[in-house]
């Protein structure tokens, strides 16, 4: 079983990296198609669990304690296989 955790800045938090990437895409000719860019991270964790509910709960604890800075970041968890 795997957990896929997506972490990104909360709405309203300035995303300097996203802003810089947006600007770079504009200069590369994508100005008309790109509206906004937000940069985040994806963490894939292989788990020793067959209980999806328990796995989600444990991964949420990992996010709260280490994987996400919950003051400025949101996260979502997807449990697969």
pLDDT at 14: 97
| Total number of domains in the chain | 1
Strands 2-9 and 73-80: antiparallel
Whole-angstrom distance, CA of residue 48 vs CA of residue 61: 16
pLDDT at 81: 87
**CATH number of 24's domain:** 3.30.1280.10
pLDDT at 54: 98
Domain enclosing residue 26, as ranges: 2-80
Average confidence (pLDDT) per 10 residues, the chain, 81 residues: 98 98 99 98 97 98 99 99 87
Global pTM? 0.89
Whole-angstrom distance, CA of residue 77 vs CA of residue 35: 26
pLDDT at 64: 99
């Amino acid at each position: 079983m795997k957990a896929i955790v997506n972490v990104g800045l909360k709405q309203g938090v300035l995303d300097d990296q996203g802003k810089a990437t947006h600007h770079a895409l504009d200069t590369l000719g994508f100005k008309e198609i790109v509206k906004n860019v937000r940069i985040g991270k994806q963490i894939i964790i292989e788990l020793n669990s067959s209980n999806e509910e328990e796995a989600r709960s444990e991964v949420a604890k990992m996010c709260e304690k280490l994987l996400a800075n919950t003051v400025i970041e949101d996260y979502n968890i997807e449990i697969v296989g």
